[in-house]
Structure 1
């Protein structure tokens, strides 16, 4: 193998640039040429491909987002679109591909592998919803962004003696909400993976109010539903002044934390190693601080789950 490509797909996440940097420099260190595909699978189909040098990825390790840009691509979901993509890869002489992204990106990598093109998936998403790895690139940064917001909101909640509902991202996964709620001292955490009853949340708020507690923070994962609607119900049933904050895409931006930079560097480099070993259709990850890799077909069949012990602890600490 003499030439490889790298692309980012799906939602951006802090640390993607660090992963791109690792792929490029690891590959060049081993004598490979590296080509960046701009605009995700859409750019792959249209041939938005450029050779990358060592300097191409200089001064990007600290930047959020992705220098290769990203886009959704419906055409790539079709067999015709996938064949166009492979034609472009062959045109540039690219023999292997590293795909950095989430679930949808992995499915694209799976299709390329099925067509006989060696592809390795690197988990880049703030949602932390990819099986086969303890953490995904961007999760730690997004979590710290949320915690910073919760700390600021708590100051206002304390000053005005209000209940605040904070809606966080995560798609259908509750990892961000759970970790943010536990580390931010939230009174209740509402996530898709665990059933909740409004009566219990209301009861907890009322108990706190009766013992003199003047403010509360409720964390809602977007996969559960609207934080605004939940906030309305809480105010109706408790008569406590309630405000709602939807953090939105602020969670996806920003300079990656040291943890995300290290993780991205390790995973990006590991992906190149697998291609050099002749591997294909694999995903890289980290488990118990050890680098691992799995069959992409098996990973896409695993249902995401949360740490139930952590969720239980969050309930015990929010009495």
Structure 2
């Protein structure tokens, strides 16, 4: 058996405070070994040691590919920028991985849409038309977004202020506040990722008698 030693380094943009992450982003984050986001920088310095240790642990239990996601504006706890190219060098030099950087641009937007991608934008479009029809002199400009899987109508000024507040909290090293401003869905997705990627080594596999197989047509 040939052991693959490939790592994919994904440079992705940050979603606005009131927008919903696409299913592609959720799937990518769920399969990633390590992520870098501005709202929750690596708690350990040097972070390179923590990242390499986690990736090595995943490889030890049989994972044959490595995915690291780097959000736009990623930095360490001292606000020093974290670049995708630097991470590539770290993975190559320390772990011997053939690492490649992929920037999500048209690749992210050009895939085949799933049900989520079709239904929610349609509902947002309907809501936008309704907002136009209901508008009166003095009505604020709205941003049609998604919160907790519900279409929301937020004044554009408030949405911009919220996004700026996230940036301000990050500059002040108040990362807990930055996460809070991002909303509950953002926090829940982060917690889910941490639970999936940071499993204890001793619980990585089940005894053979406790393994269950599912078969379907």
TM-score (norm 2): 0.60
Match of 1:243 in 2: 99
Asked if 1:268 is matched to 2:125, the reply is yes
Structure index of larger Rg: 1
Asked if 1:186 is matched to 2:36, the reply is no
Equivalent pairs counted in the alignment come to 160
Q: Which ranges of structure 1 fall in alignment gaps of 5 or more residues?
A: 1-157
CA distance in 1, matches of 2:103, 2:64: 23
Cα 1:302–1:231, aligned 2, differ >3 Å: closer, same or farther? same
Asked if 1:226 is matched to 2:44, the reply is no
Partners of 2:91 and 2:99 within 8 A in 1: no
- Give matches, 1:78-117, under 5 Å: none
TM-score (norm 1): 0.43
CA offsets 1:183-208 (integer angstroms, 9 cap, x no match): 3x222122222112221111112334
CA distance in 1, matches of 2:135, 2:64: 61
Asked if 1:165 is matched to 2:8, the reply is yes
Q: CA RMSD, aligned part only?
A: 3.1
CA distance in 2, matches of 1:203, 1:188: 11
Once the 2 structures are TM-superposed, how far is the Cα of residue 214 of structure 1 from its aligned partner? 4.8
Query: Which one of the candidate residues 278, 293, 296 is aligned to 2:156?
Result: 296
Once the 2 structures are TM-superposed, how far is the Cα of residue 295 of structure 1 from its aligned partner? 1.7
3-state secondary structure, aligned to 2:51: helix
Q: Which ranges of structure 2 fall in alignment gaps of 5 or more residues?
A: 75-81, 167-181, 199-217
By relative contact order (CA 8 Å, sep 6+), the higher-ranking structure is 2
Match of 1:195 in 2: 41
Once the 2 structures are TM-superposed, how far is the Cα of residue 210 of structure 1 from its aligned partner? 4.6
